[in-house]
Amino acid sequence: MLIDMIKSSDDMYLYEINDQFFILDPYSQMFWFVKDLEDDSLLSNIDQLKKYNFFKQTKELVIDIKELKEDIKHIVINPTFECNLDCWYCYSRDYHHIDFERISLIDIQRTISYFADYKNKLNSTTPLAVSMFFTSEITLDFSLFKEVERYVNQIKKEYNFDFYLFPASTNLMSLSDEFVDFINEYGYVNVSLDLENKEQIETVLKNISRFDATVVKHCIIPLNSKMINLFSTYSTYMKSFNYVSMRPVRVTPNSKIPWTEKSVSDFKLELVKLIEKLLSLNEEELLDFLYKLGSSDYLARFIDRIISRKRYYKRCLAGKNEIAISPDMNFYPCSGLIGIEKYKIGSMSEGLFSNNITEFKKSKDIFTLECKECPIRYYCGGPCEDWKSKLNIKKIEEINHIECLVNHVYFKNAIFLVSKLCANKRVIISNYAEEKGIENRLSYPLNFEDFVLFFS
């Protein structure tokens, strides 16, 4: 009876995860594990919480929803598509063999000044972050990056906001002394590693040693649906890197390793094995592993959001406060959408298309589209337009089924891991939250019966 009641409700959800049942309240982002679904007191306990407005969207939530102010916080300049690799999942792969004219230094300078002046007109005081070489390999022409750095340092005193210039991730196949010296001074490097490319693996593990021990090294591993032995993979690269992130590749159904319902189901089993392995570690080993999960790791992403219970109303800044510039100097919401005409939101010659930006913002609103009844919408923040495009989802109302499946698999396993740690090793959650600088809002009893006692 309870299962039928919850399944018919838009306000509460019942999950079965590894033979454990959980009740989720998506509005408060609280969850509880349930010992016995047949317990006669369960329904009365649920009714008791409903009297206190659990499982119901409140006016306070609506008031809390604030539109992002018009501003530009991040521009991603892609001068070229040239690369010394041809990774099967790369979103710029289709352009590697097209003879695009590279953006000149003068045009890059014009682009930075354009958006800096745009912020000035808005009286913006937020920093302007500038990233370079997302769609190509930065080490192939690092001298251009250095010229841009000199220009940013030259003009930043003319504005009332800060500038930050970031080098994009590198495949680390070719290193110049100039790049190594820069990173040693800069103190941070992102390395993208294709586990399907054995030559790159060998080269990366050799070249990473060229950087000083003080450099923070982050390894980003594009996650495909056939990856196995996840714990072993994490552990291997955690020996050479300070942080390791695995995040699912966004690929078309015709790619080398596509995501399908079947492959997501297979991957779920691998993720379950990873969680089981983590729960078998001692406290020190587990904390060391969790600390080394990188900023873009999908498991860490859901762990952090489950612990903090912070609501995410928007997936990312793309198209709202972030703009990508293509080699032909057109503007797009993100680098993954470059070249797709319907996503064009302006150009250097035409300026920003305000109507296109408005429409793009609407396409990512979790309150009006396919996400509005999803139980984990506030943990996820909405669909990824890049992935929707690759899966050829043409209508806004259509659900990005594959991405949703992947997100739910991660969420369920993350919530299982967190609940087990809260039940047996709460100190790990506390230490992890402190290390990551997030608020720990799981101080309430996760046993549903114990929690309801507070309202008796």
3-state secondary structure of 330: strand
Q: Label residue 53 by pLDDT band (50, 70, 90).
A: confident
Give 154's contacts (C-beta < 8 A, 6+ positions apart): none
What pLDDT is recorded for position 395?
57
Share of the chain above pLDDT 70, in %: 89
Interval 184-204 mean pLDDT: 96
Share of the chain above pLDDT 90, in %: 60
Residue 63 has pLDDT above 70, yes or no: no
Evaluate whether 170 touches 138 at the Cβ level (below 8 Å): yes
What pLDDT is recorded for position 44?
87
Max CA distance (Å), the chain = 73
What pLDDT is recorded for position 117?
95
Residue 243 has pLDDT above 90, yes or no: yes
What is d(CA 80, CA 101) in angstroms, rounded to the nearest whole number? 8
The CATH H-level superfamily of 74-356 is Aldolase class I (3.20.20.70)
What is d(CA 287, CA 305) in angstroms, rounded to the nearest whole number? 17
Residue 442 has pLDDT above 60, yes or no: yes
Phi, psi torsion values for 249, nearest 5 degrees: -75, 145
Q: Which residues make beta-bridge pairs with 190?
A: 218
Amino acid at residue number 431 = N
What pLDDT is recorded for position 15?
85
> Chain-centre distance of CA 237, in angstroms?
20
3-state secondary structure of 196: coil
What pLDDT is recorded for position 232?
98
Q: Please, what is the Cα angle at 260 between 254 and 266, to 5 degrees?
A: 130
3-state secondary structure of 257: coil
How crowded is residue 312: how many other Cβ atoms within 10 Å of its Cβ?
15
Residue 37 has pLDDT above 90, yes or no: no
Task: Find, among 151, 443, 294, 392, the residue nearest to 401 by Cα.
Answer: 392
Q: Label residue 14 by pLDDT band (50, 70, 90).
A: confident
Task: Find, among 263, 252, 259, the residue nearest to 390 by Cα.
Answer: 252
Range scoring the smallest mean pLDDT among 66-70, 178-182, 218-222, 280-284: 66-70
Evaluate whether 311 touches 64 at the Cβ level (below 8 Å): yes
Q: What's the residue count for the chain?
A: 456
What pLDDT is recorded for position 340?
86
Evaluate whether 136 touches 78 at the Cβ level (below 8 Å): yes
What pLDDT is recorded for position 64?
46
Sign of CA dihedral 45, 49, 51, 54: negative
Interval 158-186 mean pLDDT: 95
The H-or-E segment that residue 141 falls in is none
Q: Would you state the structure tokens that stand for residue 422, as one six-digit string?
A: 């809260």
What is d(CA 388, CA 374) in angstroms, rounded to the nearest whole number? 17
Evaluate whether 203 touches 228 at the Cβ level (below 8 Å): no
Q: Which residue has the higher pLDDT, 100 or 285?
A: 285
pTM metric for this prediction: 0.91
Phi, psi torsion values for 191, nearest 5 degrees: -120, 125
What pLDDT is recorded for position 389?
79
Evaluate whether 63 touches 17 at the Cβ level (below 8 Å): no
Q: Which residue has the higher pLDDT, 242 or 67?
A: 242
Task: Find, among 190, 166, 198, the residue nearest to 242 by Cα.
Answer: 190
Evaluate whether 85 touches 303 at the Cβ level (below 8 Å): no
Q: Label residue 452 by pLDDT band (50, 70, 90).
A: very high
Give 437's contacts (C-beta < 8 A, 6+ positions apart): none
Residue 446 has pLDDT above 90, yes or no: yes
How confident is the model over 95-124, as pLDDT tens digits? Answer: 766 777 789 999 999 999 999 999 999 999
What pLDDT is recorded for position 110?
96
Interval 432-441 mean pLDDT: 95
Name the average pLDDT for the chain: 88
> Chain-centre distance of CA 161, in angstroms?
26
How crowded is residue 35: how many other Cβ atoms within 10 Å of its Cβ?
11
The H-assigned helical ranges of 40-176 are 41-50, 59-64, 105-121, 142-155
What pLDDT is recorded for position 369?
60
DSSP track, 293-319? B-TT-HHHHHHHHHHH-----SS-SBT
Range scoring the smallest mean pLDDT among 60-74, 297-311, 373-387: 60-74
Gap between the terminal Cα atoms of the chain: 23
